Amino acid sequence: MRELNTLERKRRYASIREEVHERVLKSYSITLTPKTTRGVIIEKSFFYDDLINCLGEYEVEFILYNLFYEDRMFEIIQHLNKNNFNRFLNLRKKKDLKFHSIILFFLYLASQKVIKKSFECSLLVNYLHNYIPQHEQTWSQKDFKNNRGIGFLFSKKIIDKLSISPINWEQIIFIYALFFKLWNILPFFKKGELRKKAFILDYFTTNYCSNLDLFISKHSNHKNQIFSNKKISESLFLDLKINLKYYKPVYSGKDSRAKNHITDIILYSSYFELIEFILKLNKNQILKTFKSIKTQTSNITLNSLKKSFNLKSELLKKEQNFWKIKILFNDLIEIRHKHSSIQQNLGNMDNISKIDLFNLCVQEKVKLCNFISTNDILKIKTKASNNKEFEVMKNFIFERFYLFEY
């Protein structure tokens, strides 16, 4: 395409982009074949050198973010052709402002002569604080969700960035990507990981803005280009859900706060994931998970009944009409009866089975209009063909026509 001008080359590339990406994936798979870690790193450095030489003019985000998400990013960079890499970055810095943040990041890394393994995390943390303020308490475990803790500061930064106009989408994606890279490698995030994730989800939910949905869409397009590390690229706080595969049903006193989020964890997972999760639980875990969901959902109803009772009580005090007084009085009796019935049911939760827990989860999913997808149906039918417990769950679902999407 050398004989074409810049605009013509870009048009031509756009017409063959999908085919090119398929070839890139095949080439990348070859880099994984060496038997030693060092061999893989060297193969990947050759791969990214070739990618820059061939596609550097058209695929800045595609190249740099796949390199960024590599588990051994620092080591791969050390083996790249330094002159070509710097030339590519500096040229794209002038011409591709929409990828300014990721380009500046790699220019910074390329400027470091040698990056020792022990300093890799520190370097990433320090770079993150170019965008997020740092205080003495920022990396304290106990201050994670306080207004100077990293959990709060990150969440607030994302919401603040999404709330101003014009929105700098590429910078938000970079901050988000850098935070998640640290999330997956720093021991700091492993301690109480579920509680930390739940806090960030709560912050996004409480401070929700319409641009969150747009960011989810843009991030989905971004992660669809990632082939180098699916584990990191597929993680997304802004889905406002915690996948069941990350949840461990432990109910010690230390995990009491995590129990408060089990309902969200379960209700926003697919039906197939839900069945797999429930079938792995022992009797004690089934009972405690059931109680946790039942208590959380019942408390919502009890609070609603309490508000309704207080409201009608106030109306009753002011009402003069005999018939209206009678209606309000009957309403109060009915509300009190419902309240007592719910509390009584909370006390009678012994001998709970897996199907009882699944039934409760299904009821709550229906309330949220969370119906079963075609993909879930196919996966459940396939698994049920050689698993008796799965078949029981499948039959339970298939007897309930209202669960299916139309």
> pLDDT digits over 50-83, tens only?
999 999 888 898 999 999 999 999 999 999 998 9
Domain boundaries, the chain: 6-114, 116-239, 265-403
The burial of 380, by beta-carbon neighbours within 10 Å (0-12 exposed, 13-18 middle, 19 or more buried), is given as buried
DSSP 36-81: SHHHHHHHHHHHHHHHHHHHTTT-HHHHHHHHHH-TTHHHHHHTS-
Q: Provide the terminal-to-terminal Cα distance of the chain, rounded to the nearest Å.
A: 48
> From the CA atom positions of the chain, what is the Rg in Å?
27
Q: Residue 128: pLDDT above 90?
A: yes
Contact 150, 192 (CB under 8 A): no
> pLDDT digits over 191-209, tens only?
877 778 778 877 887 787 7
Name 372's bridge partners.
404
Give, in order, the Cα–Cα distances in Å from 145 to each of 17, 160, 199, 274, 309: 43, 17, 7, 29, 35
Look at residues 350, 354, 351 and name the one whose alpha carbon lies nearest to residue 279.
354
Q: Mean pLDDT across the stretch 353-359?
A: 87
Q: Which of 123-132, 262-271, 275-284 has the lowest mean pLDDT?
A: 262-271
Q: Residue 372, SS3?
A: strand
Q: Which pair of structure tokens corresponds to residue 209?
A: 């803005």
- The share of the chain scoring above pLDDT 90, in percent, equals 30
Q: How far apart are CA 196 and CA 301, in angstroms?
A: 27
CA angle in degrees (0–180, nearest 5) for 261-264-266: 110
Q: Mean pLDDT across the stretch 359-379?
A: 79
For residues 241 and 32, which has the higher predicted lDDT (pLDDT)?
32
Q: How far apart are CA 168 and CA 99, in angstroms?
A: 10
Contact 405, 372 (CB under 8 A): yes
Query: Does residue 166 have a cis peptide bond before it, meaning omega lies within 30 degrees of 0?
Result: yes
Backbone φ and ψ for 372, nearest 5 degrees, come out as -80, 140
For residues 347 and 190, which has the higher predicted lDDT (pLDDT)?
190
DSSP 175-208: HHHHHHHHHHH-HHHHTTHHHHHHHHHHHHHHT-
Q: Mean pLDDT across the stretch 18-25?
A: 92
Give, in order, the Cα–Cα distances in Å from 242 to each of 3, 67, 248, 391: 51, 27, 12, 26
Read off the pLDDT band of 149 (50, 70, 90).
Answer: very high
- The share of the chain scoring above pLDDT 70, in percent, equals 83
pLDDT for 252 equals 42
Enter the pTM of the model: 0.62
Q: Which pair of structure tokens corresponds to residue 6?
A: 């810049």
What average pLDDT is seen over the chain? 81
> pLDDT digits over 214-271, tens only?
887 888 888 888 889 877 655 655 554 444 554 555 444 444 444 445 665 666 678 8
Contact 361, 297 (CB under 8 A): no
Q: How far apart are CA 337 and CA 328, in angstroms?
A: 14
pLDDT for 158 equals 92
Q: Which pair of structure tokens corresponds to residue 242?
A: 């915690």
Backbone dihedral region for residue 371 (phi beyond 0: left; psi -120 to 50: alpha; all else: beta)? beta
pLDDT for 51 equals 94
DSSP 99-116: GHHHHHHHHHHHT-S---
Q: Which of 131-140, 235-244, 334-343 has the lowest mean pLDDT?
A: 235-244
Q: Which of 94-108, 181-195, 289-303, 318-332 has the lowest mean pLDDT?
A: 289-303
Q: Residue 129, SS3?
A: coil
Q: Which pair of structure tokens corresponds to residue 302?
A: 């009890």
